[in-house]
Amino acid sequence: MFRDDVDRLFADLFPGGRHGASNEARAPVDVYLTDGPPPALTVEIDIAGVDPAQVDVALVEDVLVVRGERRRAGAGRRVYQHAEIAWGPFERRLRLGVAVDAGAATASYESGILRILLPLAPSPPLRRVDITVREGS
């Protein structure tokens, strides 16, 4: 959490994702729960200009990892008067905070938005535990 706050601070101070030694772009993201059916966690990531075939999505325990790269079209020398578009590799790591059914996850791409739908895992039934009371010895 603290690292995300620091990353956001640097992103605000240095727009375009050109902060730190990695020169890594930052893809904006929205995460929200829906009632369904089925109930799900939806992750929407703004990756406009990124070839969706070049995006890697993985779930490692409770962390969603999305990697890709926004590549510039064309070549040649450019002299910028103003630059805000973040080019280059990006990676987003999102701690989900809820149990999801990774096997039922789906992803779609439309109008520059990658939408990942993660159905919530069913809650395990509560298990009653009997307690044995022993009298003092």
Interior/surface letters 76-88, b for 16+ CB within 10 angstroms, e for the rest: eeeeeeeeeebbe
The pLDDT value recorded for residue 113 is: 96
2-119 sits in which CATH class? mainly beta
- pLDDT tens digits for range 36-72: 788 999 999 999 989 999 899 999 989 999 999 988 8
Domain positions in the chain are: 2-119
pTM for the model stands at 0.70
